[in-house]
Amino acid sequence: MRVLMISDHADPTSLTARTPTPLTTGSHAAGGQNVYVRILATELARAGVRVDIFTRRSSADAARTDTIAPGVTVVRLDAGPPGRLPRDSFLDVLPEFTDALCEHVNGQAFTYDLIQSNYWFSGIAGLRLRDLLGVPQVHMNCSFGHLRRASYGEWRNEFYAIREDAERRIARSVAATVVSSAWEGRLVRERFGADPDSIHEIPIGADRGFRPADRLGARRRLGIDERGPVVLFVGRPELRKGLMTLGVAWQTLRDRHPGMTLVMVGPDEASLAEDPKLRPLSDLLLEDPAPILAGPVPHTDLIDYYNAADVTVVPSHYEPYGIVAVEAMACGVPVVASRVGGLQDIVADGVTGLSVDPGNSTDLANAVSEIVAGKLGPVPLKAAVTRYRSHFSWARATPRYLQLYSDLVKSGVE
């Protein structure tokens, strides 16, 4: 089988970058979608499926094609002005991107059996290709316009109207929508009007290397205090990740637990200083003991960070899924997460972590203290690893994608 994957702005190679660039995962521009696309493609290829991932060429240095794993090729298409684009400006270059994609596909000696589109721009491009090739399209939303708008208090009415209209059209037109949680399934059904039979719930797992490992070794390699409790945050430096809530909670936690370390992966001083919405956080975090701001970290290096931690916090205001919570669970690390979006289906409250109200720094601090005091048991938490392996791992997800793809291809549904 040959799959055409579209990931408009999220280049899967960002995961491996060693030198932080604007596209390194964990920087402002790259996150969960980059991770998902790369792992899904690699997993499919391990099972013998050939995958070509089409994305926009966002840097003049980037090669036009890259083989990133056996059977997985990234094809970068020129669309619009050279260089990086703010994400929403992709709308302006979408027609050009789609034309380039159709032209590329038309010029090849082979064709594809199925399209997997990710994010709404790719969904629209996918609909045109689906009509061109006459093959089924499977869509993953990755994010939802109305939730993002609400969490930022944005009023770009025209943009969000276009986006929601497209999200609805995609949900009603594609052969299948893959959702990563029950919460997301309800949203796609109730808000976008997708046919319930076209919705397939397949959770996103963690990269296969994420598992419990020696905590002292991990702390030594990272230069983190070997005795005190370690709280970990992993995420892009964005306000909606709940960074202000965490900053305020940290004021309480550092007084309450002398010797506690907060490690923040993703944000660094520069990214906090450059975003006016995050600048107050830099002030909150300056006082001693200040958190370790690790900045963007290459994806597989994160395994040490998770294994060094006693608890991972995900204080997001909204979160369509929350791969970070899944990665922590895979390593047996308890999670304190906001009761929002897919996080509600990932965290088993009181068993693998604690759910808290978004934006409530007192709740967040108290939940971290309870976990550090041993409320859920010793780390690595067996219950977390068991739940990860039985519900979330790629070892379970990949066969379900393969089954879905092969059913669609056999039935000839478009």
Site string for ligand UDP, 326-345 (x = CB under 6 A): -x------------------
Closer residue to ligand UDP (CB): 33 or 55: 33
Q: Which member of 12, 266, 315, 332 binds ligand UDP (CB under 6 A)? A: 266
Mind giving me the DSSP string for 54-78? EEE--STTS-SEEEEETTEEEEEE-
| Least Cβ distance, residue 195 to ligand UDP (angstroms) | 26
Q: How far apart are CA 217 and CA 226, in angstroms?
A: 9
Number of residues that bind ligand UDP (CB under 6 A): 21
Q: Which member of 302, 346, 354, 379 binds ligand UDP (CB under 6 A)? A: 302
In the three-class reduction of DSSP (H, G, I as helix; E, B as strand; rest coil), residue 249 is classed as helix
State which of positions 192-231 bind ligand UDP (CB under 6 A).
none
Q: Which member of 133, 230, 234, 365 binds ligand UDP (CB under 6 A)? A: 234
232 binds ligand UDP (CB under 6 A): no
304 binds ligand UDP (CB under 6 A): no
State which of positions 19-48 bind ligand UDP (CB under 6 A).
25-26, 31-33, 35
Q: How far apart are CA 23 and CA 73, in angstroms?
A: 18
Closer residue to ligand UDP (CB): 235 or 380: 235
243 binds ligand UDP (CB under 6 A): no
What is the separation, in whole angstroms, between the first and last Cα of the chain?
A: 16
| Least Cβ distance, residue 409 to ligand UDP (angstroms) | 29
- Residue 177 structure tokens: 């929508």
Q: How far apart are CA 266 and CA 234, in angstroms?
A: 6
Q: Which member of 53, 79, 285, 324 binds ligand UDP (CB under 6 A)? A: 324
In the three-class reduction of DSSP (H, G, I as helix; E, B as strand; rest coil), residue 241 is classed as helix
296 binds ligand UDP (CB under 6 A): yes
| Least Cβ distance, residue 213 to ligand UDP (angstroms) | 16
10 binds ligand UDP (CB under 6 A): no
- Residue 101 structure tokens: 């994609």
Rounded to the nearest 10 degrees, the angle between the axes of helix 157-173 and helix 120-133 is: 40
Residue 86: CB atoms within 10 Å = 9
Closer residue to ligand UDP (CB): 32 or 185: 32
139 binds ligand UDP (CB under 6 A): no
CA 229 vs CA 37, 291, 337, 365: distances in Å: 34, 13, 18, 13
Closer residue to ligand UDP (CB): 87 or 257: 87
Q: Which residues pair with 77 in a beta bridge?
A: 56
| Least Cβ distance, residue 232 to ligand UDP (angstroms) | 11
Closer residue to ligand UDP (CB): 5 or 101: 5
| Least Cβ distance, residue 86 to ligand UDP (angstroms) | 16
Rounded to the nearest 10 degrees, the angle between the axes of helix 32-46 and helix 394-411 is: 70
83 burial (CB, 10 Å; 0-12 / 13-18 / 19+) is exposed
Stretch binding ligand UDP (CB under 6 A), from 77-85, 129-137, 249-257, 317-325? 317-325
236 binds ligand UDP (CB under 6 A): yes
Q: Quick one: which of 333, 335, 360 has its CA closest to 346?
A: 335
- CA 346, 350, 353, 357: dihedral to nearest 10 degrees? 80
Residues found near ligand UDP in the complex (CB under 6 A):
15, 25-26, 31-33, 35, 234-236, 265-266, 296-297, 299, 302, 321-324, 327
